[in-house]
Structure 1
Amino acid sequence: MIVKQMTIFGAVLGSLLVWAGSAAAEERFTDLQHSKWAEDGITYMAKRGTVAGYGNGMFMPERHVTRAQAVTFMVRELYSQELQQKVEGMPYSDVPSTHPFYREIAIAAKHGLTGGFPDGTFHPDAPMSRAETAAFLTRAYSLVKGQQTVRLTDTAKHWAAAPILIMSSNGLIGGYSDGTYRPDRSVTRAEFAVFMARVIRFEREVAIQAHDWDKLMSYMTVSEQVGQMLMPDIRQWNGHVTTTVNEGIKRSIHDQDLGGLILFDKNIVNARQVTTLTHDLQAEAGDIPLFLGIDQEGGVIKRIPGGTNLPGQMALGATGDAALAEAAGQLTGEELKALGLQVNFAPVLDINSNPDNPIIGIRSFGSNADLVTRLGLASIKGLRQSGVIAAVKHFPGHGDTTTDSHLGMPVLTHNRDRLDAVELKPFRAAIDNGIEMIMTAHIAFPAVDNEHVTSLKDGSSVPIPATLSKKVLTGLLRGELGYKGVIISDAFTMNAIAEHFGENKAVERAVSAGVDIILMPKDPAAAHQTLVNAVKSGTIPIETVHASVKRILELKSKYGLFDRGESLAHKLAALNDVIGSEKHRMVEREIAERAATLLAGRDGAHPDQIHQGDRVVIAAAEEEQVKQLEKQLTQAAKSLSLKTEIALIGKGKTNEALQAIDKADYVILASYQFRNAASQFGWADFQTLIEEMNRRSKRYVLLSLGNPYETIYLQNVRSGLAVYGKQEPNTAAGINVLLGRLEAGGVLPVITE
């Protein structure tokens, strides 16, 4: 009798030790070296918070699992939310209220998970058998017979024959090499963890194949669900540029259960490298693939080296051609998809109605709402046709601002009628045409939400930006405009958010406002923990998270992210036929050539032309720019016997430029105004040169390479041409106009009066 009492006491003590550590956080076990076959299953279940060790890094995988422990595992997996609630009633006479797992056994009995014995007992501290495990898991997960055939010689007449058959026919359990199952053999902690992991993974795969996202979410932990709502960048790790999947990235993907990542040009060396990178990233993602996104707007915002170098949105605006915008969207999508990227943060639907806008400018199609709407819809259509998600930006509109939200908090003071007529127009049209992802703006819109809070930066009163405003995102975007797709924030590294609100509080507030995905949190681990804590405390209702995650999963499925059968070798072999193909280059050239726009001409139709044998001075503020233009001009005009000279202006160099111009037959005066307010640009040196060239009757062109607002600030320009970008297709088209080989047929897409 004494021996029996000691055995029972030891079993209960062992049960207590099992849960000495917290089941809420993944434990790292140090005693699995002889149980490598079970390590993946144990680690998986520990990460889910279902199984735990003994608080000292020990899991004790070979120790038998008791019936009480098995019940506890299942309750923590299936009914963890009830563990903090009061339980009433215990149907088993041998489970006193003092039993360490009284609560778990009562919850299991309530839900019909457990089966007792005819005498009303449960035998909580008895070892769990393989037969009981099969019955237990089959009952808990309502499993049905599968298609596989497994012949077991010792189960046909066993009381658990049916659940054993169900489990084995789904590949969830197997027998021994002699064809037996040994149903009455006790199950170890390692075996039980592996059995549970197999069932959960099986059920998740069934849900994925059936596109049953509610079922899949029921098998996702809170950590996994909020992880789907995070999309960090991976530009650097430990101070080094990230171009391969290193241990830090692996750990972040796994620890925060990340749903996506954004790539930048720093992550990209060439097409083969980035294709390998995206392939390897997806390999780390488990059964729910990553959204892999990028800003490939074209023009000034271009991340892919070696790909098609599109002239940019304002160049498309100058063509006014929706078919070209669609073609640009489609070829962009084709190249991104070939590289393993599924989300393009484009097109920009901001209407650049303010010349002093320091961040949008040539990224916009123009200043006319109808033009932006028409070309924006065409671009979206092209991206869709290629199988890439268009994430339009920046809702409700960043076009009429004078502050860069990367640096501060812009405020758009227009009334609601103006917002409806201008800023909201392209977004409303995109929503009506089924746009699936919209990026928010870190801009305050007092006409929609005039709430203010105290800034953490300086204690001042600051307005709530759209990204954090429930009135803007839930009230206006989802309510009034009827948007049903995914809402993604702009980068959380931007000062409009980071300085004033504190990242963790801002993350919580953004999700409460209606954001589905937080883009580029400064500290992904902290953002993840913030959301986990907010859900567990009830600050963010779990229903809010479920709604966001369901939208994310549905969109991933719609664009085929769950279909991941293509090998890396096949992806790499296909690159040459897509990236920078001649077909794509033809579209690139056509946009650039048709975009070239006359700003001023002596005859009202043409800029001054370059002639045979001219001495051409190329003047600009940047040495790199003048050298590029000189190289392109020399290559394009080999037969004209031109003599070229470069000159820099500004920073005390303008007098030298004047001396060079004095000897010139023709002058290319190139200006590039972007990422600053047009009214604050250094126009004085340009005006000096223009006046001098006019006085000396020089042939020249004011070549606008950026925002085309020169004629607002410069007087008496007699020859001017806008090409909307300083990259090669734009400048090459401009040079061909100056050589008389092309007409400047573009129409200025912004107001300059």
Structure 2
Amino acid sequence: MRTQILITLLTITSILSLFGNNSYPHNWAENTLATMSADEKIGQLFMVTAVTDPELNPKWFSNPLVCVEPWYIQDLITRYHIGGIIFLGRGSVEKQNKCINQFQQLSSVPLLIGMDYESGLGSVKDNGIRFADAMTLGATGNPEFTYKIGKEIGAQCKATGVHINFGPVVDINNNPDNPVIGFRSFGEDKENVTRHALAYIKGLQEQGILACAKHFPGHGDTAVDSHLDLPILPFDIQRLCTTELYPFQAAIKAGVRSIMTAHLYVPAIDSDKAHPISLSSDAINGLLRKKMSFNGLVITDALIMRAVSDHNAPGQLELKALLAGNDILLCPTDVPRAVARIHHALKTGELSSTELDEHVLRILQAKEWAFNHCNWNFEVSDEYKHSIDNAYCTTLKKDAFQASVTAINKIPTLQHNKPISIIQVGDPKDEDLIENLSHKFKCDVYRLSYDSTQEEIAHIATQIAPNTPVIIALFNMTRDPKTKFGISDAILDLTQKIVTNESILCIFGSPYCLKYFNKNSAALVAYQNDPIAQIVVAEIITGNYKAPGKLPVTIS
């Protein structure tokens, strides 16, 4: 007993000394593993959910499958030796940094900190820049933008104490009814998706941030959200190899550090519906490890997602995911129960100590790689503020938008200083489009919501003078294809009635909504609701720029 205490103290002392100089010696992972108890090894498998701002994220504090209270996470660190934390929800970087520092100080082995910064810090935090989404970048046809943005996102991660970014999405979005991937994908063409995915991975990992290709083996051709239910990918293995798996194999060859497994039922890989990909040894140990030769970190998609949590008991779910071959159990449903089940599996031989060591070693090796690049004890500084939003980032973002905006049909040339009517549908949050157009045109602005009545919409149609150029701008659409992205039939009827040869439809959202409009309409697709996107579209309408982007998906 005294020997074990001495070893533990020596381990903690050596780790703390490493914190001081931020340099990890060769074989740190192997040496750390050799000193760990079974409890400590099991703890490393869990990356739990944390939220920094309760008032901004009430749904997380009412979720019955997860407790995000700081006291609970502190208890998981000290009692169960968890290996990592993923921060979810909106909030401020300062509060998150404070939490990271507090949690790291409690952990004898440094925690792996993860975030979903797919499009940058601003996609989830209030004080940071949000870059172009993946589909926007796919429309540029130029992976150099994606590489540079990936590198800047890596800098944001590094500056905010994050070691692993759960991106890029390498799913091929070839299903227009997909409710959960959509704009997060680089598009439907496997070559274009692969080029951009590899560029993102390269930029991110050059900054010393672990990239994570997701959602293996491909979540693009589904019409069900795995947050809510279990989607099915019904294709044969030949189709999967030539399409869905194509970018994953390329990412493996390029050295991606981690891959996230999806909650998908894929009969061609595992015919047992009780074994979706994230719980399938055939998929992970068989296909991903052996056939595709991936030796990096395998991470489940969030285990609190209903595709798996509705069909598996807490604790048993985590054990099944581990036995299937996953290394990190992301957003577990019940850590204490899961730890008990894994201990029981070790005792009965269902899980061998060798298998456990292999999982933990991969986790520690990933930490060693990350901690050799990132300072574990992040504190807010001027460097942090400069890294997350600066002039270079803004310029890079605008350049990407300029290259992405896509013209559908010939865009009419409007005469400056002449009257135009602008119908704004939805809340743009910013008035950059209208403000910039008003510098060149005499603008009459009409505002509608997606819930506007037929009477309100019809009234606007009567206000617009004949032969007046009309710009119809759609903002803040929903992401659900089943609801036509929130666009009502009345709005669609309005566009039919007032469209002229000098009308322009401006879409700040999903390009898939084009199918609901007249195919001969002139349109500018900007892909997302962003102030810089509005500025770029205004500059195209005023004649300052062309629209060079190409649709990364097919509209039918």
Instruction: Please give the TM-score of this superposition, normalised by the length of structure 2.
Output: 0.89
Q: Among 282, 292, 295, which residue is 2:104 paired with?
A: 282
Provide the C-alpha distance between the structure 2 equivalents of 1:467 and 1:567, rounded to a whole number of angstroms: 33
Provide the C-alpha distance between the structure 1 equivalents of 2:239 and 2:437, rounded to a whole number of angstroms: 49
Instruction: Give the corresponding residue for 1:430.
Output: 251
Provide the C-alpha distance between the structure 1 equivalents of 2:232 and 2:193, rounded to a whole number of angstroms: 22
The yes-or-no answer on 1:642 pairing with 2:458 is no
Q: Which has the larger radius of gyration?
A: 1
Provide the C-alpha distance between the structure 2 equivalents of 1:638 and 1:320, rounded to a whole number of angstroms: 31
Within 5 A, what are the aligned runs for 1:240-279?
246-266=70-90, 268-269=91-92, 271-279=93-101
1:672–1:707 contact (8 Å) kept in structure 2:
no
| Structure 2 segments unaligned to the other structure (5+ residues) | 19-23, 62-67
Provide the C-alpha distance between the structure 1 equivalents of 2:16 and 2:114, rounded to a whole number of angstroms: 25
The yes-or-no answer on 1:339 pairing with 2:160 is yes
1:359–1:674 contact (8 Å) kept in structure 2:
no
- Name the CA shift for 1:438/1:301 in 2 (closer, same or farther; >3 Å): farther
1:619–1:657 contact (8 Å) kept in structure 2:
no
The yes-or-no answer on 1:312 pairing with 2:128 is no
Provide the C-alpha distance between the structure 2 equivalents of 1:205 and 1:671, rounded to a whole number of angstroms: 51
Partner-residue secondary structure (3-state), 1:643:
strand
Within 5 A, what are the aligned runs for 1:576-655?
576-599=385-408, 601=409, 604=410, 606=411, 609=414, 611-620=416-425, 622=426, 624-625=427-428, 628=430, 631-640=431-440, 642-655=442-455
Provide the C-alpha distance between the structure 1 equivalents of 2:136 and 2:375, rounded to a whole number of angstroms: 36
Within 5 A, what are the aligned runs for 1:322-471?
322-453=143-274, 464-471=275-282
Shift, 1:711, TM fit: 3.1
Partner-residue secondary structure (3-state), 1:639:
coil
Instruction: Give the corresponding residue for 2:46.
Output: 230
- Name the CA shift for 1:597/1:343 in 2 (closer, same or farther; >3 Å): same
Provide the C-alpha distance between the structure 1 equivalents of 2:529 and 2:56, rounded to a whole number of angstroms: 29
1:300–1:725 contact (8 Å) kept in structure 2:
no
1:468–1:510 contact (8 Å) kept in structure 2:
yes
Provide the C-alpha distance between the structure 2 equivalents of 1:687 and 1:214, rounded to a whole number of angstroms: 62
Shift, 1:607, TM fit: 5.1
Provide the C-alpha distance between the structure 2 equivalents of 1:532 and 1:650, rounded to a whole number of angstroms: 54
The yes-or-no answer on 1:217 pairing with 2:33 is yes
1:647–1:656 contact (8 Å) kept in structure 2:
no
Provide the C-alpha distance between the structure 2 equivalents of 1:374 and 1:381, rounded to a whole number of angstroms: 11
Within 5 A, what are the aligned runs for 1:57-68?
none
- Name the CA shift for 1:544/1:651 in 2 (closer, same or farther; >3 Å): same
Partner-residue secondary structure (3-state), 1:640:
coil
- Name the CA shift for 1:368/1:589 in 2 (closer, same or farther; >3 Å): same
1:478–1:484 contact (8 Å) kept in structure 2:
yes
Shift, 1:615, TM fit: 4.4
Instruction: Please give the TM-score of this superposition, normalised by the length of structure 1.
Output: 0.67
Within 5 A, what are the aligned runs for 1:148-227?
195=6, 197-199=8-10, 201=12, 209-227=25-43
The yes-or-no answer on 1:744 pairing with 2:539 is no
Provide the C-alpha distance between the structure 2 equivalents of 1:708 and 1:394, rounded to a whole number of angstroms: 22
- Name the CA shift for 1:573/1:710 in 2 (closer, same or farther; >3 Å): closer
2:113–2:162 contact (8 Å) kept in structure 1:
yes
Partner-residue secondary structure (3-state), 2:167:
coil
Q: Among 693, 699, 715, which residue is 2:498 paired with?
A: 693
Within 5 A, what are the aligned runs for 1:40-189?
50=1, 74=3, 77=4
Partner-residue secondary structure (3-state), 2:503:
strand
Partner-residue secondary structure (3-state), 2:123:
coil
Provide the C-alpha distance between the structure 2 equivalents of 1:367 and 1:610, rounded to a whole number of angstroms: 37
Provide the C-alpha distance between the structure 2 equivalents of 1:307 and 1:301, rounded to a whole number of angstroms: 4
2:175–2:222 contact (8 Å) kept in structure 1:
yes
Provide the C-alpha distance between the structure 2 equivalents of 1:646 and 1:526, rounded to a whole number of angstroms: 57
Partner-residue secondary structure (3-state), 1:501:
coil
2:138–2:186 contact (8 Å) kept in structure 1:
yes
Q: Among 523, 541, 561, which residue is 2:334 paired with?
A: 523
1:704–1:723 contact (8 Å) kept in structure 2:
yes
Partner-residue secondary structure (3-state), 2:310:
helix
Shift, 1:224, TM fit: 1.2
Partner-residue secondary structure (3-state), 2:191:
helix
Shift, 1:398, TM fit: 0.3
1:346–1:393 contact (8 Å) kept in structure 2:
yes
Within 5 A, what are the aligned runs for 1:722-733?
722-733=525-536
Partner-residue secondary structure (3-state), 2:366:
helix
Instruction: Give the corresponding residue for 1:499.
Output: 310
Shift, 1:321, TM fit: 0.6
| Structure 1 segments unaligned to the other structure (5+ residues) | 1-49, 51-72, 78-192, 454-463
Partner-residue secondary structure (3-state), 1:232:
strand
2:158–2:374 contact (8 Å) kept in structure 1:
no
Deviates more, 1:231-240 or 1:651-660: 231-240
Provide the C-alpha distance between the structure 2 equivalents of 1:525 and 1:237, rounded to a whole number of angstroms: 25
Partner-residue secondary structure (3-state), 1:325:
helix
Partner-residue secondary structure (3-state), 1:402:
coil
Q: Among 458, 475, 479, which residue is 2:286 paired with?
A: 475
Amino acid at match of 2:217: P
Amino acid at match of 2:459: Q
The yes-or-no answer on 1:509 pairing with 2:309 is no
The yes-or-no answer on 1:668 pairing with 2:472 is yes
Amino acid at match of 2:101: H
Provide the C-alpha distance between the structure 1 equivalents of 2:56 and 2:523, rounded to a whole number of angstroms: 44
1:358–1:674 contact (8 Å) kept in structure 2:
no
Shift, 1:487, TM fit: 0.4
Higher relative contact order (CA 8 A, sep 6+): 2
Provide the C-alpha distance between the structure 2 equivalents of 1:562 and 1:423, rounded to a whole number of angstroms: 32
Deviates more, 1:557-566 or 1:432-441: 557-566
Aligned length: 538
Per-residue CA deviations over 1:39-73 (Å, capped at 9, x if unaligned) read xxxxxxxxxxx5xxxxxxxxxxxxxxxxxxxxxx5
Instruction: Give the corresponding residue for 2:64.
Output: none
Provide the C-alpha distance between the structure 1 equivalents of 2:374 and 2:235, rounded to a whole number of angstroms: 46
